[in-house]
Structures are given as structure tokens and as C-alpha cells.
Amino acid sequence: MDGKVVLSLQNVTKRYPGVLALNNVSIDFLEGEVHALLGENGAGKSTLIKAVAGAIEIDSGTISIKGNAFHKITPHISRELGVEVIYQEFNLVPTLSVAENIYLCEKSENSALYNADEFVKKAAAVLAQFDVNIDPRAMVHDLSIADQQIVEIAKAVSKNVKILIMDEPSAPLSVSEVEMMFNIIRQLKAKGVTVIYISHRLEEVFRISDRVSVLRDGCYITTVNTADTNRQELIKLMVGRALKESYPARKNPPGEIALEVKNLTGNGNRDISFVARSGEILGIAGLVGAGRTQLAQLIYGAVPAQKGEILISGNSAQIQSPLDAIKHRIGFLTEDRKGQGLFLEMSVKWNIVFPILKQLSKHSVVDTKKEDQIAGHYKDRINIKTPSLTQRVINLSGGNQQKVVLAKSLAAESDILIFDEPTRGIDVGAKQEIYHLMTELADLGKTILMISSDMEELLGMSDRIIVMSEGKLAGEVQKDNFDQHYILDLASGTN
């Protein structure tokens, strides 16, 4: 592929205390291409973005944007030259309107005073390009995550973006929303915008990108044309060894019914009924907003149900609070592990034993010996990579944080485990480990409910899938009939 180079990194090096985050990296990005950036967590992708955006100072090397070479780049220069970054955490002001966000801090053209109408009109014009239905006057906190992301893109486009960097843009989106985002990316590409696309989902990389560059441990590995490569090769390049992305085989078939949900209503869901067996991985499919997490919250008592019944091993269980759920040996690994699952400032050990402290305490004094023993046991069992048990969780990688959440539920000896997006934002290697652990747990007779927006993962891991759509159960699919299109049909409520 030949085209004009718009962004070029030459021998860029960035060192953090104790880490070489970017090691002599050189990459060219061409005009009007979608260029995927791949690498495991900690490979240096985020550092690279920040270097281009001018958010950090590089130690050596040059960054050329549209022919202007810089040793030092500031956020201001980067923006002036048309670089815009959409970070995983959005940079929107939730309490302002869409139009105000798109034109944040910009002055009116012909008035010294702020003219709301002018900006609403301009914002509407920008949004119109994307064939979306977003009211420029709506408050950002009232929008769905997908719409918020479109506002981010619109914000970049309104600034005459030349190079758009997107960090894991699909992570919070459902399948159909990803589709919409791809359309927008294609439109931008047609206008000559260079899109740098970072994602853990290889499937997306194949669908949207023209070229792929791989980073590993801060080093540039290679750039390939997407059409000339395949999954296995990319995975090999990313991890530096041949790693099969596969779903481990199950040893034992599902057994007795362990969980039965009857007409569960509340938290936006209506009349949900299904069963899950011991030793079964039950997948829960659905678009974002279909009510999957809300269902998990009902079962876990995080939000009390208005109506309906939950039976555990055939006995009716009154679950009105998380404490009730824990007593019934239900564990919930939330999708938002930082916000809801972990005490980030606390140690690994502290986090793992927290739910079972009562059992570890004698006359309410914590037995620290037992604490070390149990935390150590689970650290080894699920291979949490941490220098010590007293390391603070905030210092661990995403995959290892997820393992701490899992260890917590295992320590509580949960029989029914609800995994909400268990592999979101974690790298290929850690994903494999999580898959193996889930399989192992199912083989031990645990009941696993797995919510995932990654269809391939859901099909690969589940024994059976129930599909949700708009707060209701839309159908159930047996393993023999697993078919991505059929499930998507059910999920989008077309049947």
C-alpha cells in the first residue's frame, strides 16, 4: 500500500521509572488508512498514543505530523495539526448538552456573548453526517454509552480531524453499535482521515483495518497488511509465541438444576424465567441495554426484585441484598471491576479475603495467619501475577485484577458464579487463563452464568445460551444450534 505518510514516529523512546514503555519505536501511518495497533496490556500502546497527543514528553526520537518533525510535542501543537484522541474514558462533561460538549470553550463567530442556537445548529450539522438520531440539546449524561462515543467522534470531526486515534472504542458497545461505529470510521476514511484503531478484539481488526502494527513489551514488532495475515499469526506476533486462542474442552456434562429463576421482574426486566445446571456454563447474550447486567443484579440482590422467585437447588431463596446472595453461595463478578469489584487502594490479600472475613475472625478479631494462608492459596491456584500479597491492587494489570475478583468469589466458596463481561479489556494471554479457570470451575460442578458482548467468546464457552432483548427473555439456544446470526436476530428482537 502506498500513500502519503501523515504521521511518522522515528526511534521514539519513553522510559518510566523501572520500565521502558517505548523502546526505539518507528512506525509510519498513511493518509486515509485505518491502521490497527495491537499488543497485549503493557505493550506500549497507551504510551504511544499519549506521545502523539503530546500528553507525555518522549525521551528521544522524533514524531513527524504532516511533515513537521518534533522532538517535543505539546497537546496544543498536536491538536493544531489535526490529531484527536478518543480515550477509553470519555472526555465529556456529563452535565452539559451535546452541542456544548462538541464546541466546548469555543467562541461564537459573530457575537461576544455565548449563542446557544448557533452551536446547536452547527452540532446538528456535524451529527447529520453520521446518520444518527442524537438531539444536540440533550444532556450528555442522558445518552447511552454508544451515543456518547458518537459525540466524542463528532467533537473530533468538528475540529477538522486529520488523524483520529481510538483507544478500545468498541469495548462498551453492543454488536449493532459497533456496526454503526464502523460505518462512521469508513466515512471518515473516505474523507482522507487516518484512523488509528486500538482493540483487543481481533475480529474487528480484520473487519475494519487496512494495516496492522504490533507492539510487544514496548518494542515495535512489525506492520502487515491486514489482508495478508490471519488471527494465528497476529496472536503469535503479539505474545511472541504461538498461542492458540481456543476454548478449552469440558470434561463433565452439566448435572442437576442448581438455579431456577421464575418470573423475575424488576430493575427494568420483566418476567424472566430460566434454569441453570450445576457444571454448566450458561451464556447470556443480548445487546447493550438488553438488561443482562440488570438481571445479574436481581439474582445477586444488588437490586431487590419486585416480583418472581429464585430457587436454589430446588428450594426457594429470599434474596433481598448481596448479603443474602452470598449466604446462598452466589458470587457476582461485576463488569465494572474497578468501580464495583475491587478496593483498588488495598492489598491483594485484603481484597481476596474481604467477603469471608467474618469466618476468619475469632471474637471479631481477624486471624491474619489464616488470612495469609487463604489469600496465598488462591493466588497460586489461579496464578495471580503479583510480587507479593501485600501489593496494592491498583498496581496490577487488568487481567490480574480480574483474577483477584475471581479469587474473592472462590474464597467465598460460591456455587453459582455470575461473570459479567469477564474478559473485557484484558489481554490475550490473561483471557486464555480466565477461560481455563471458568472451564475448570464448571467441571468441578459450579454453575456459571456468563454475560459477554464478545459473541465468539460466548459461543465458544457456553453450554447453552439464553438471549435477552429489551428487558425480556427472547429465546434459548442449545449448543447444537449455536449460530451467531440466529442469536443476533433474537437479540435485536426481529423475531
Partner 1 sequence: MTERSVALNSFGSKIGSLMKKNVPFVILIFLLILFSFIAPNFMTFGNIRTLVRQISFAGISAVGLMFVMISGGIDLSIGSQIVFSNVLLAIMMADWKLPLGAAIPLIMLVGTGLGLINGLLYIKLKIAPLIITLGTSAIFKGFGYIINHSRNIMGFPDAFRWFGQGYVGGIPVPVIVMVVVALIGSFILTKTYFGRKVFALGGNEEAARLAGVNVDKMKVILFMICGFVSSITTVLLLSRVFAGQTITGQGLEFDCLTAALLGGVSFKGGEGTIFGLMVGILIIGVLNNAMQLASFPDFSQTVVKGTVLLIAVAFDVYQKKRKAKVNVASVAA
Helix (H) / strand (E) element for 442: namely helix 428-443
Stretch that binds partner 1, among 10-18, 73-81, 136-144, 244-252 (CB under 8 A): 10-18
- Helical H segments across 191-334, by residue range: 202-208, 231-239, 292-300, 322-327
**Is the distance from CB of 84 to CB of 125 less than 8 angstroms?**
no
Q: Among residues 101 and 334, whose Cβ is nearest to partner 1? A: 334
Q: Among residues 68 and 340, whose Cβ is nearest to partner 1? A: 340
Q: Which of residues 147-176 bind partner 1 (CB under 8 A)?
A: none
**Is the distance from CB of 165 to CB of 53 less than 8 angstroms?**
yes
Stretch that binds partner 1, among 77-85, 160-168, 347-355, 440-448 (CB under 8 A): 347-355
Q: Which of 441, 444, 398 is nearest to 421 (CA)?
A: 398
Q: Among residues 308 and 355, whose Cβ is nearest to partner 1? A: 355
Site track 14-43 with partner 1 (rule: CB under 8 A), x = hit: --xxxx-x--------------------x-
How far is Cα 208 from Cα 78, in angstroms, rounded to an integer?
25
Positive or negative, the CA dihedral 126, 132, 136, 140 is negative
CB of 72 to partner 1, least distance (A): 20
Interaction between residue 323 and partner 1 (CB under 8 A): yes
Q: Which three cell numbers stand for residue 447?
A: 454453575
Q: Among residues 34 and 348, whose Cβ is nearest to partner 1? A: 348
Interaction between residue 355 and partner 1 (CB under 8 A): yes
Q: Which of 166, 102, 103 is nearest to 132 (CA)?
A: 102
Interaction between residue 422 and partner 1 (CB under 8 A): no
Interaction between residue 340 and partner 1 (CB under 8 A): yes
Stretch that binds partner 1, among 219-227, 310-318, 352-360, 438-446 (CB under 8 A): 352-360
Interaction between residue 128 and partner 1 (CB under 8 A): no
* Among 88, 263, 361, 484, interactor with partner 1 by CB under 8 A: 361
Q: At residue 333, what are phi and psi to the nearest 5 degrees?
A: -100, 100
Interaction between residue 300 and partner 1 (CB under 8 A): yes
CB of 101 to partner 1, least distance (A): 26
Looking at the DSSP assignment, which residues form a beta bridge with residue 274?
261
| Cβ burial, residue 266 (10 Å; 0-12/13-18/19+) | middle
User: Cβ contacts of residue 265 below 8 Å, gap of 6+?
Assistant: 271, 272, 305, 306, 307, 308
Q: Among residues 19 and 93, whose Cβ is nearest to partner 1? A: 19
Using CB under 8 A as the binding criterion, the count of chain residues that bind partner 1 stands at 40
Q: Among residues 87 and 350, whose Cβ is nearest to partner 1? A: 350
* Among 354, 440, 489, 493, interactor with partner 1 by CB under 8 A: 354
Q: Which three cell numbers stand for residue 436?
A: 481455563
Q: Which of 269, 284, 203, 334 is nearest to 452 (CA)?
A: 284
| Exposure on the CB side of residue 411, measured as CA atoms within 13 A | 31
Interaction between residue 390 and partner 1 (CB under 8 A): no
Interaction between residue 89 and partner 1 (CB under 8 A): no
* Among 55, 116, 221, 344, interactor with partner 1 by CB under 8 A: 344
What DSSP string describes 393-405? GGGS-HHHHHHHH
CB of 15 to partner 1, least distance (A): 10
Q: Which positions lie near partner 1, rule CB under 8 A?
A: 16-19, 21, 42, 44, 46-47, 300, 302, 321-323, 325-326, 332, 334, 339-346, 350, 354-355, 357-358, 360-361, 364-366, 394-395, 397, 408
